[in-house]
Amino acid sequence: MLNDLKALCDAPNNVPGLVSFYGAYHVPESGQISIVLEYVDGGSLADVQAKVGKIPENVLSKMTAKILRALAYLHREKHMVHRDINGEPKITDFGISAFIDSTLAQCNTFLGTVTYMSPERINNQAYSFPADIWSLGLALVELATGRYPYDAGEGPLQLMIHVLQEDAPLPPAGEFSEEFRDFVRVSLQKDPHKRPMAEQLLTHPFITKYAADPVSLKAFMQCAFNPHDKLDEIAIVFAFNYYALLNAGVQRLRDLAPLYSPKSTMRYDGEMAVGRDAIIAKLQAVAQMHAGFRVVHEVVDVQCQPLGFDGSALVNVTGQLVSPAASNKPQPFTEVFVLSQIQAGEYYVANQCFRLIKQ
């Protein structure tokens, strides 16, 4: 967790291929630390591969360029080894990253995903930035061919033997360009000192060849995914985070303000509030009333359905108001949200209606 926070706090939000960091907060009641990151709505490249089978070479080139820029930043500016490049279009997981005190220092720990470990790591030798290049090269072979290049069915020990003893896997000749095959070849050198650095690979012909290619990563992702596929996930994340902030008390309610616009409306048990400020004021009044009885919102179920084709969604939450007082039975409620999409992955609450269910 500390590695996550250190890496993300220090990184600017405009590094291509590196997920943007918006902040972090601590919830004293639960002891949780939540990190707020850019929402990457396409999922992982593993998700994409599961849908399309193989990713075209020109698309992979543009994705790789983004990842290389992020790795170059981490290696050059932060002296940081990610250690687990395994098919993410943006680098997001810093919990398994290692900070290196100087450009000559090396890591001696054994962490990461076994299937993408470099030979020097498997041998438990000191390793540095080239370990990331090996992982990237291996992931590219898998994404291009649609299958992991080694036989992983015999367990991790046998897999490590394959990696150490077999020739590095290359994409089949005739099916892929020589530029791509050479990029993989240099990335999968067994000797880490022979692997190029991320900045050097940015000038490799596999990257420059497709720099002017008109293929759009956004268009490719839209072809690979139905935009409604993610709505259920978005609704669940939204609902649980919304009520977590609501339960955190009056002081935290201003954190909900960005969810609303000046035109947002909320009807709370028959009372109407219009606009961001009025809605937050209403929520603060409700929170103050609940605080005296230590009432919290407990989510029971979240249902979601798309509204048209603009990415908007109707989120229906059922739950109950719970108080520790033994005489107070849980009070069921239902709350409906209309989430309107500003841009991909960014929503605001256009309309909201809360209603207590009388028993």
pLDDT tens-digit map of 207-241: 999 988 888 887 787 766 666 667 888 888 899 99
Q: Which pLDDT value is given to residue 225?
A: 66
Token output for 67: 């990842």
* Element spanning 246, H or E: helix 231-247
Identify the pLDDT of residue 91. 47
Instruction: Please list, in sequence order, all residues whose beta carbon lies within 8 angstroms of the beta carbon of residue 41, skipping any fewer than 6 positions away.
Output: 230, 344, 345
Q: Average per-residue pLDDT in the chain?
A: 80
What is the pLDDT, as a whole number, of residue 95? 38
pLDDT, one tens digit per residue, over 243-254 is: 998 888 888 888
Q: What is the mean pLDDT of residues 93-106?
A: 39
pLDDT band, residue 153 (cuts 50/70/90): confident
Average pLDDT over residues 40-57: 80
Which pLDDT value is given to residue 31? 78
State pLDDT tens for residues 321-359.
998 875 678 899 999 999 998 876 678 999 999 999 887
Identify the top-confidence range among 22-31, 118-127, 207-216: 207-216
Q: How many CB atoms within 10 Å of residue 146?
A: 11
Give the pLDDT band of residue 79 (cuts 50, 70, 90). very low
Q: How confident is the model at residue 101 (pLDDT cuts 50, 70, 90)?
A: very low
Q: How far is the CA of 347 from the CAs of 16, 57, 224, 252, 292, in angstroms?
A: 23, 33, 22, 20, 32
Q: Active-site positions?
A: 84
Give me the DSSP letters along 58-120. Answer: HHHHHHHHHHHHHHHHHHHTS-EE----SS-SSB---TT-EE-SSTT--B----S-GGG--HH
CATH, range 227-356: 3.10.450.50
Average pLDDT for 113-135: 77
pTM above 0.75, yes or no: no
For the stretch 149-153, contacts whose Cβ atoms lie closer than 8 Å and that sit 24 or more positions apart, written own/partner, are 150/115, 152/115
Class of domain 2-224 (CATH, top level) = mainly alpha
| Residue 111: pLDDT over 50 | no
The residues spanned by each domain of the chain are 2-224, 227-356
pLDDT band at 122 (very low <50, low <70, confident <90, very high): confident
Q: Is the predicted pLDDT of residue 120 greater than 90, yes or no?
A: no
pLDDT tier at 267 (50, 70, 90 boundaries)?
very high
Q: Are 113 and 84 in contact (CB under 8 A)?
A: yes
Torsion sign over Cα 23, 71, 218, 146: negative
Look up residue 42 and give its two tokens.
Answer: 């396409």
Which of 31-35, 49-53, 58-62, 125-129 comes out lowest in average pLDDT? 125-129
Both structure tokens of 316: 């229906």
